[in-house]
Structure 1
Amino acid sequence: MPTVNDLDLVRAMRADTATPSRQRLDAGQERLLAAIASSPSRAVKTGRGLREIRRMLLAGAAAAVAAAVAVATQVGVHPGSVDVRPTTLHPLPAADADYTDLLVERASFGWLPDGLHANGYGIDRQYQDAFTITAIRPGTRSGVTLIDHGRGKEPDLPHLPGGVPGKRIPATPVNGHYAYWTFAPDENGQSTFELRWQYAPDSWAELAGNGLHGSSAELTTMAYKIAESVRFGGTRPIALPLHVDGVPGGLTPTTAGLNNGAFDEVSVGLSFLEPGASILEISMIKTDGTIGTGVPDEQGAILGLPRPNTKLNGHPAYRTPRFVYVYGVNGFDVSISATGAILAKLNETGGVSGLFLRTTVLGTDEAQWTTKPVN
């Protein structure tokens, strides 16, 4: 039987969706991005500015919003299966599985151009605990993304198109702090820019803009007005549209993200890690009513959304021992995947299907969302 690596279980997403984080993705996320770029379902602009913003948005929820799902075929579950429910559940002690502050707004915009407001948030703890906040204009791909790299060494310089090494382009200080461009507005009114500054000792932030029209001088003024108004050090937890009960204790939260309108999508993603590359990913996307028709090919991969092979709580679902994708749950499609030791722990309480059955989807009304989404 064909097999796939655990990290390839859920490998690509609906082309125009995202949840925040940063450029330095692991190899699996790079493959995810490649799959998005080649997705036939939607045309995706490939300019450097949009690529960078999409990378930032994607890493925060590596499994949010699938458009091409790679799955193992050795599932033992066949089309036409009846509803699958765990039989014996042994919830973990609450004190042993306490996950708080998964997504906190530690930086915020003070001023934004007309038509922009914050609509994407993410945290990536894999590198420098980077927090990302994005404002994408509805119905367009234009907007800005702020990355608070937190305390640590200066981030690496990004490469320019064609693999050209980046360089520091002199810039006026931001609120008296050392700053430079890594990609500056040019004399022709280039709509993409990236401004980086050291807002506190050993603490770095950068502001990326894409698709914002104006002359070089106008875009420079805009970038500085936004950057100088940024507030750092926030502690506000960000509410999410789900509550999951029974995530095993002792895991390391690695990424969390909420897309609340950027690229005209609503999606959320959480990921957890245990030593030895054991991964748990939980994600949702606001449903568009689509039910997948994809089936495994000879290599065991499914292109597109998977065709249901069972039901969970009355909802059409695709289920394998490591992965579930459930359609139309209180306004969202839900996916959960797990590998290795984390999967072994979940199997004591009904597996990934059991975790789905302990997941409450809170709907699209933000007033019902929770700042304590896990356990």
Structure 2
Amino acid sequence: MNDLDLVRTMRVDAPIPSQRRLDTGREQLLAAIDSPSVAPRAAGAGRRFGGVWGLLLAGGVAAVTAAGVAMATRTGGSPVTLHNLTPAAEWAKYADPLVERAAFGWLPDGMRANGYVADSQDEKYFQVTARTGKAKGGKSVTLTAYERGTEPPLGYLPGGVPAKRIPAMPINGHRAYWIFKPDPSGQSSFELRWQYAPNRWADLEGDQIPGDSAELTRTAYKIAESATFGGSRPIALPLHVGGVPGGLQPDRTVLNNGAYGQVSVIIGYFAEPSSELGIGIVESDLRNNTKPRPNTRLRGYPAYQTPRLMYVYGVNGFDVQLSASGSILAELNRTGGLAGLFNRMTILGVDEANWTTNPVN
């Protein structure tokens, strides 16, 4: 299972998992959100958190407040400064939160890249997925490029079995090994890892790909050998939001652009010790009857609003979910809280021609 498998559960009614649930491990998390793994695969430490708000959080705490400016330092990371928004609003400049650091070259017929994840939590990586079909049983290929550093952990296979390096032929002359190798039994999954440059690693995962062991091996190598890394193309998103407090950097950005027949976006921010901001949109689904019942209207749209959580329905074909807490929420409250943030949002619809590569501020 890759991140887009989890993102498909990001409906506007999805609950926010507690930190205790996050700590119970990947297998229990998948069960908690009713999204069982469809393929044996390794679960690397510190990555592949699910696509719901609570999964944007990371550990490590140290914060002080002085002169109205909150300073937060993440363990193992850079300081985060939350700048107060003046009545005129301090419009921080943000780079595009989703940049194509890796890309497919060749893909099997009928497949295209339609899901992206940029994660800057403990184990930083960029991930691109190609998936077919609207159901969870469709074919999928996922390429993960890790930020420069040491070899990522092997993690565990489902059932708690420690993953091991399985010898593999080099990829473009670079060291490679299987984490989950195609076998003669006819299973349709694999995970291949290689060191595509000094101190840079990539994983390629396939699921429900047709073919026997030899055919799957050829498919995996053809995809891996044609993949490219180190790109800088910004990926456009179907929303724009202004008034995000300055000094924040997105911990996690997810675009589902047609995988599972749906368009959805998550942009998540986190500041120590326990402050977060989640911005998400998902295509409206009239068949979903489990949404919180509206208790107000915002800009004419039916909405459900609490001080920390908000849903707004039917905005240019999308449902909007906003959540905030701690010092980030305190800053937003200076300019109208979550309602004020929604008032500064523009939903750009499903036509990619209207999307923007500068979605924040």
Q: TM-score, normalised by structure 1?
A: 0.77
Match of 2:225 among 228, 231, 240: 228
Cα 1:347–1:17, aligned 2, differ >3 Å: closer, same or farther? closer
Matched letter for residue 374 of structure 1:
V
Matched letter for residue 206 of structure 1:
D
Residue 247 of structure 2 aligns with which residue?
250
Matched letter for residue 257 of structure 1:
V
Separation of aligned partners in 1, 2:263 and 2:41: 19
Higher RCO, 1 or 2 (CA under 8 Å, sep at least 6)? 1
1:147-162 equivalences under 5 Å are: 147-162=144-159
- What is the root-mean-square deviation of aligned Cα atoms in Å? 2.7
Match of 1:117 among 99, 112, 115: 112
Matched letter for residue 195 of structure 1:
L
Cα 1:334–1:98, aligned 2, differ >3 Å: closer, same or farther? same
Contact 2:42-2:179 within 8 A present in 1 as well = no
Separation of aligned partners in 1, 2:153 and 2:43: 14
Matched letter for residue 52 of structure 2:
A
Q: Is 1:305 aligned with 2:291?
A: yes
Separation of aligned partners in 2, 1:336 and 1:254: 16
Separation of aligned partners in 1, 2:205 and 2:159: 19
Q: CA deviation at 1:93?
A: 2.3
Separation of aligned partners in 1, 2:162 and 2:33: 28
Residue 296 of structure 1 aligns with which residue?
none
Matched letter for residue 319 of structure 2:
D
Contact 1:253-1:271 within 8 A present in 2 as well = yes
Unaligned runs of 5+ in 1: 1-12, 19-25, 65-87, 293-303
Cα 1:14–1:219, aligned 2, differ >3 Å: closer, same or farther? closer
Separation of aligned partners in 1, 2:20 and 2:259: 25
Three-state SS of the structure 2 residue aligned to 1:343 is helix
Three-state SS of the structure 2 residue aligned to 1:162 is coil
Separation of aligned partners in 2, 1:50 and 1:257: 21
Q: CA deviation at 1:314?
A: 1.1
Number of equivalences: 315
1:49-68 equivalences under 5 Å are: 49=40, 59=50, 61-63=51-53
Contact 1:49-1:209 within 8 A present in 2 as well = no
Q: CA deviation at 1:121?
A: 0.6
More off after superposition, 239-248 vs 266-275: 266-275
Cα 1:268–1:27, aligned 2, differ >3 Å: closer, same or farther? farther
Q: Is 1:358 aligned with 2:353?
A: no
- Identity over aligned residues, as a percent? 52
Cα 1:30–1:329, aligned 2, differ >3 Å: closer, same or farther? farther
Separation of aligned partners in 2, 1:176 and 1:277: 45
1:1-375 equivalences under 5 Å are: 16=9, 29=22, 37-38=31-32, 44=35, 46-49=37-40, 59=50, 61-63=51-53, 90-94=87-91, 97-140=92-135, 141-290=138-287, 292=289, 304-375=290-361
Separation of aligned partners in 1, 2:41 and 2:257: 18
Separation of aligned partners in 2, 1:288 and 1:320: 22
